[in-house]
Amino acid sequence: MQWKTDWGLQTRMGLTMFLLFAVYVAFAAGLTYALDASIWVVALALGAFTLAQYFFSDRLALYGMGAKEVSREEYPELYASVQRLSQQADLPMPTVAVADTSTPNAFATGRNRKNATVCVTTGLMRTLDRDELDGVVAHELAHIKNRDVLVITVASFLSSLAFLIVRWGAFFGGGRRGGRNGGGGVVVAILVSLVVWIVSFLLIRLLSRYREYAADRGGAAITGQPSALASALLKISGEMEKVPTQDAREQAEMNAFFIIPVKKGFVGSLFRTHPSTEKRVERLRDLERQLESR
């Protein structure tokens, strides 16, 4: 299989970024009005948060999963797999990280191809054989090659920031009267943040499901073994049902990045970001049949 640029994905990413910019401007304007603050102060604060997310998103994602960077000496087989598949994908060697958790999963993070990280869990390495693990690593490398990691990171950041304002609105208000309409300003800020949270989440869904199909195709193109990735997805999906509810709830916020989303808990079940495993496997098996017929 040859790597082909997915123009459907590129178009969706361009549209998502444009809409995110519009949401960002509306968010800044809404907070400025609600809090009766200078537009420059609000824009500077949001800009600073955005830049911090851009430069440190990989560190924050790894920290959130309790993952650490590893060397060739610590995980020789995993490191060799990432290195070999990166060469096949014509990508710079990413940082390799491992999260010590029973949840069998993987994700890619980073702001560009030269500053990327592929992270897998110890649970994943125990669950999959070598070809299946190669398929998952290739899937994550496809995300990096498609440059969709940054778009999801920006979208997730805006959604998370708005959600925090909604969640801690009472705390920010603190019983004090402030803003354009006294305590009402805080209410308006919460309502604006709620709308931004919902819209940014819908934009994530708009892109996330398609990007998973694209990464599945890309991963299959890198390894030339669609069936190995299909087998890995089925194994991971089965093992995810065994993940303790508390662990699943804590990790559900990373759903947009995971190869298979966490299904347990309120967040995981309500806000599904991926197509079903069955549909992904069906498409991969179609690819396998196409390869066999050549």
Tokens of 30: 């809404």
Q: Is 77 a catalytic residue?
A: no
* DSSP-based three-state secondary structure for 104: coil
* DSSP-based three-state secondary structure for 68: strand
Name the active-site residue from 73, 77, 132, 140.
140
Distance separating alpha carbons of residues 56 and 52, to the nearest angstrom: 6
State the chain's maximal CA–CA distance in angstroms.
Answer: 71
Q: Give the CA distances from residue 83 to residues 98, 99, 137, in Å, rounded to whole numbers and listed in that order.
A: 15, 19, 10
- Which one-letter amino acid corresponds to residue 50? T
Strand 106-112 to strand 95-99: parallel, antiparallel, or no bridges (unpaired)? unpaired
Say how many residues make up the chain: 294
- Which one-letter amino acid corresponds to residue 154? V
CA 167: distance to chain centroid?
Answer: 22
Distance separating alpha carbons of residues 119 and 109, to the nearest angstrom: 8
* DSSP-based three-state secondary structure for 9: helix
Distance separating alpha carbons of residues 238 and 110, to the nearest angstrom: 28
* DSSP-based three-state secondary structure for 69: strand
Q: Give the CA distances from residue 246 to residues 152, 262, 268, in Å, rounded to whole numbers and listed in that order.
A: 25, 11, 12
> Rounded to the nearest 10 degrees, how much is the dihedral formed by the CA atoms of 193, 196, 197, 198?
130
Catalytic residues: 140
